Amino acid sequence: MTNHWIDLRNSDCLLIQGSNCAENHPIAFKWVMKAKERGAKLIHVDPRFTRTSAKADFYAPIRSGTDVAFLGGMIKYIIENEKYFKDYVVNYTNAPFLVNDKFAFDDGLFSGYDAAGRKYDKATWTIKKDDKGIPLKDPTLQDPRCVLQLLKKHYSRYDLDTVSKITGTPVKDLQTVYEMFSSTGVPDKAGTMLYALGQTQHTGGSQNIRTMCIIQLLLGNIGICGGGINALRGEPNVQGSTDHAILSNILPGYLKAPVSSQPTLDDYIKKNTPKTSDPQSANWWQNYPKYTVSLLKAWYGDKATKENDFGYSWVPKLDDGQDCTLLNMIDNMYEKKIKGLIVFAQNPACSLPNAVKVREGLTNLDWMVHVNIFDNETASFWKGPGIDPKKVKTEVFLLPAAASVEKQGSQTNSGRMVMWKYEAAKGPGDAVYYAGDAVIQIVAKLQELYKKEKGAFPDPILNLKWDYIDDKGRFNVVEVAKVTNGYFLEDVTIADKTYKKGDCVPSFALLQADGKTSSGNWLMCGSFAQDGTNLMARRKKDDPTGLGLYPQWAWSWPVNRRIIYNRASVDLNGKPYNPNRPLLAWVDGKWVGDVPDGPWPPMSDLKNGKYPFIMKPDGVSALFGPGLSDGPFPEHYEPLEGPMDKNLLSSQLKNPVMKIFSGPCDLYSGCDPKYPFVMTTYSSTEHWCTGGNTRWQSWLTEAQPQVYVEISEELAQLRSIKNGDKVKVESARGSLPCVAMVTTRLRPLNCGGQTIHLVGMTYNYGWLFPNDCGDSANLLTPTAGDANTMTPEYKAFMVNVVKI
């Protein structure tokens, strides 16, 4: 989230699209209701009418997988009706910047497309610069090559009629949503956008979010109270796990994973440290070397020296272009390229797409170690449906784990707030307390073996600074948190202030690139005070601004800032755009309010002032964003499996750069009459993810006992299905018996005269327990991923439903 949960109450208009907040974030939804009590309007756009829709002031249906078209139409509406916040757009976005003359877009493709390689050469996706390297701009926004005009041209094709034919949303519903939400494009109104997996789990998932960002920037809704682009992360700790790099493409703190063409630290830093020639741009990522070296010092301690590149050569490197995300990992397992697997607290046999392929892949392993609080369909895959245990060679070790409430540590919520929590009860027996306990022991064993047997490259293992064990020989969670924050490794004097060796580094602004500081994750730097006080454990309820920032309750990254990009909430002189909700103000030469996005004076100070979007090299936010692999402006493409045989906006039917898997289990149906209905999958309130924990809880299985498919009355009639009938849902990959739930909450959509039926299922079930609950909806989902992140396309694919 750019903002935070409590801040939702400050909004005037909340657009929830691609999220079922009421059901999947039931506690946090209270802040949505608080906004409504204040008179805010709640809009819900979703393929299904859910418990969120039931609380909305306005609900609009949408065909799953068409969000870019829906939101692209809103961009057109905002620009053509001049609903955008001009002052903000001119000063704080790249709308006035002039784009490379060779940049072009034609019939669904941007310039530089390589059809054979299914990728773009982004050479023309650039901003024109003057001889000093400063971007060329037209502050009047009239130049046909300025970003705003190109944006206008791009979305001019997204007219109401075309958008309605693609999305199935009636024209008048589109108009209502566009009007309601764009009413926040004025200084004293705030609109917020809430999304979750309903936006990300598509082959164009990243671009769905980009489209939302563009709207929020046009309306001046980023960096303000009650605004923002808010990803609703939840219990699976998506926020914390990405911050700490449980992804293969990043190191902690969103540093890039090194690749083999960057053999030295200098290569790596040169490649990843952005440059700017504009003196008013803070270009915060210029600190990349400091964060990298401090990370290496945290990992390798005294072994990391300037002479040996601080141990950079010991960090594993990806091959250039290599993608190690989950879908590829499963593919490799299926292809017998992976021998062993350690699974902590997951259930991939039910949670990953194309479970048929996943489950078969697991049989190819030599061994699997599974650490969990319950047995699940992954740990017991060898006795699952259709699998003969006698033919499975995999040796499985199931280790009992302590539950999250049985251990202390930090938890990061969706609003970047990191809160320290304590052990509420003892874990059972000899349960593995922390994943850290297991990792500590594995590494200790590896070190012992490398010492004894040497091996080809022992340095990365033997040189690890591995002193996280307390006096009882257990994983020391407090020490790991402190190392993550970072220490001064020598006495250091910065701006007349001396920090002693062994002090905690109280802010990432103090991290150094010379090896004198360590930090396991620069974003977490400041979570401990210099004297070692754990700020994440704070519980003070003061709210000096009255805006719900609660600055002394726990701690937020970065540097306890509660709303990021907050310097975009003020005008060039530092005066709040919205006097009723002043998040930040420049008063008597200093900032008052939230922790500002940098200490510099407002932009009107031409000498020392800085642009507000400090993480971008140009200092402004990017309406034109060349960072993604599939285009600098989002463009609508159909899902990998969709009901349309053509794209009404171009002759490019599918995302041109997404990976297409082609193994024997990677089966896809196009516009196939055998699989005529669009399916979307999701979770319910009553179960958590695959139900791996909740299905063992009788009060929850009582409330949601068995797998079901939600279908409309019209589809039920078409297939002669009655409410509660047993049916079978089939896709090109698998089939799943379940109960039909016939409901008015799903309705067929009219997509340009074509009737499209939508059906939906939760992925909360699995064959193991209870034995009559049914199996996973992921037996049906395709192995397909977002073109940028490889997040699976769980939300839009094709099925058939028949009575059994």
Partner 1 sequence: MSNGKSILVDTSLCTACRGCQVACKQWNNLPGTKTKQIGTYQNPQDFSSDTWKVVRFADGKKEDGKPYWYFFTDMCRHCVEPPCMYSIQNFVKDAVVRDEATGAVVYNEKTKTVPFKEVLCPYNIPRQNPKTKVLAKCTMCFDRIKNDMIPGCVKSCPTGAMVFGDREKILEMANKRVADLKKTYPKAMAINPDEVRVIFIVTDDPKKYWKFAAGG
Q: Any residues with CB less than 8 A from the CB of 454 and at least 6 apart, and which? A: none
Which range in 101-109, 247-255, 302-310, 742-750 contacts partner 1 by CB under 8 A? 742-750
Member of 581, 654, 745, 757 binding partner 1 (CB under 8 A): 745
Taking the complex as a whole, the smallest distance from the CB of residue 26 to partner 1 amounts, in Å, to 4
* DSSP symbol at 741: E
**Nearer to partner 1 among residue 571 and residue 725 (C-beta):** 725
For position 681 contacting partner 1 by CB under 8 A, the verdict is no
* DSSP symbol at 485: H
Taking the complex as a whole, the smallest distance from the CB of residue 670 to partner 1 amounts, in Å, to 31
For position 715 contacting partner 1 by CB under 8 A, the verdict is no
Member of 724, 752, 754, 803 binding partner 1 (CB under 8 A): 724
Beta bridge partners of 713: none
Distance in angstroms (rounded) separating the CA atoms of residues 454 and 596 = 51
Distance in angstroms (rounded) separating the CA atoms of residues 331 and 348 = 13
Member of 231, 707, 758, 777 binding partner 1 (CB under 8 A): 707
Taking the complex as a whole, the smallest distance from the CB of residue 723 to partner 1 amounts, in Å, to 4
**Nearer to partner 1 among residue 301 and residue 705 (C-beta):** 705
**Nearer to partner 1 among residue 477 and residue 738 (C-beta):** 738
Member of 5, 42, 59, 401 binding partner 1 (CB under 8 A): 59
Q: Is 361 left (phi over 0), alpha (psi -120 to 50) or beta?
A: alpha
For position 248 contacting partner 1 by CB under 8 A, the verdict is no
Taking the complex as a whole, the smallest distance from the CB of residue 402 to partner 1 amounts, in Å, to 22
For position 697 contacting partner 1 by CB under 8 A, the verdict is yes
Taking the complex as a whole, the smallest distance from the CB of residue 401 to partner 1 amounts, in Å, to 24
For position 698 contacting partner 1 by CB under 8 A, the verdict is yes
Member of 3, 18, 49, 432 binding partner 1 (CB under 8 A): 49
For position 728 contacting partner 1 by CB under 8 A, the verdict is no
For position 695 contacting partner 1 by CB under 8 A, the verdict is no
Among candidate residues 138, 52, 132, 34, the one with its CA nearest the CA of residue 90: 138
**Nearer to partner 1 among residue 19 and residue 211 (C-beta):** 19
For position 45 contacting partner 1 by CB under 8 A, the verdict is no
Among candidate residues 328, 327, 307, 310, the one with its CA nearest the CA of residue 319: 328
For position 53 contacting partner 1 by CB under 8 A, the verdict is yes
Dihedral angle at the C-alpha atoms of 420, 425, 428, 434, nearest 10 degrees? 10
Distance in angstroms (rounded) separating the CA atoms of residues 188 and 471 = 57
Taking the complex as a whole, the smallest distance from the CB of residue 697 to partner 1 amounts, in Å, to 8
For position 425 contacting partner 1 by CB under 8 A, the verdict is no
Distance in angstroms (rounded) separating the CA atoms of residues 466 and 279 = 42
| Residue type, position 686, single letter | E
Beta carbons within 10 angstroms of residue 87's beta carbon: 13
Pairing status of strand 395-400 against strand 367-372: parallel
Report CA torsion sign: 77, 81, 85, 87. Answer: positive
Beta bridge partners of 432: 401
Distance in angstroms (rounded) separating the CA atoms of residues 681 and 414 = 22
Q: How many alpha carbons lie under 13 Å from residue 67 in its C-beta half-sphere?
A: 33
Contact criterion met (CB below 8 Å) for 151 and 624: yes
CA angle 357, 363, 369 (to 5 degrees): 110
Member of 242, 530, 650, 685 binding partner 1 (CB under 8 A): 685
For position 743 contacting partner 1 by CB under 8 A, the verdict is yes
Matching residue, tokens 């926020």: 239
Q: Any residues with CB less than 8 A from the CB of 739 and at least 6 apart, and which? A: 706, 707, 708, 709, 724, 725, 726, 727
For position 717 contacting partner 1 by CB under 8 A, the verdict is no
Member of 424, 444, 494, 703 binding partner 1 (CB under 8 A): 703
Among candidate residues 792, 786, 722, 759, the one with its CA nearest the CA of residue 643: 759
Per-residue interface string for the shown chain with partner 1, residues 12-31, x marking contact by CB under 8 A: ----------xx--xx-xx-
DSSP string for residues in 694-714: GGG-HHHHHHS-S-EEEEEHH
Taking the complex as a whole, the smallest distance from the CB of residue 456 to partner 1 amounts, in Å, to 55
Phi, psi of 344 (to 5 degrees): -105, 115
Pairing status of strand 492-494 against strand 497-499: antiparallel
Which range in 45-53, 500-508, 512-520, 588-596 contacts partner 1 by CB under 8 A? 45-53
Taking the complex as a whole, the smallest distance from the CB of residue 747 to partner 1 amounts, in Å, to 7
Which range in 84-92, 391-399, 523-531, 705-713 contacts partner 1 by CB under 8 A? 705-713
Per-residue interface string for the shown chain with partner 1, residues 372-411, x marking contact by CB under 8 A: ----------------------------------------
What H or E segment, with its residue span, contains residue 740? Answer: strand 735-743
| Residue type, position 722, single letter | K
Which range in 355-363, 448-456, 465-473, 723-731 contacts partner 1 by CB under 8 A? 723-731
Matching residue, tokens 């730097």: 525
| E strands present in 390-544 | 395-400, 409-412, 417-421, 492-494, 497-499
Taking the complex as a whole, the smallest distance from the CB of residue 407 to partner 1 amounts, in Å, to 23
Per-residue interface string for the shown chain with partner 1, residues 251-290, x marking contact by CB under 8 A: ----------------------------------------
Chain-centroid distance, C-alpha 772? 34
For position 744 contacting partner 1 by CB under 8 A, the verdict is yes
For position 705 contacting partner 1 by CB under 8 A, the verdict is yes
Give how many residues touch partner 1 by CB under 8 A: 40
For position 9 contacting partner 1 by CB under 8 A, the verdict is no
Interface positions with partner 1 (CB under 8 A): 22-23, 26-27, 29-30, 33, 49-55, 59, 685-686, 697-708, 723-725, 739-745, 747
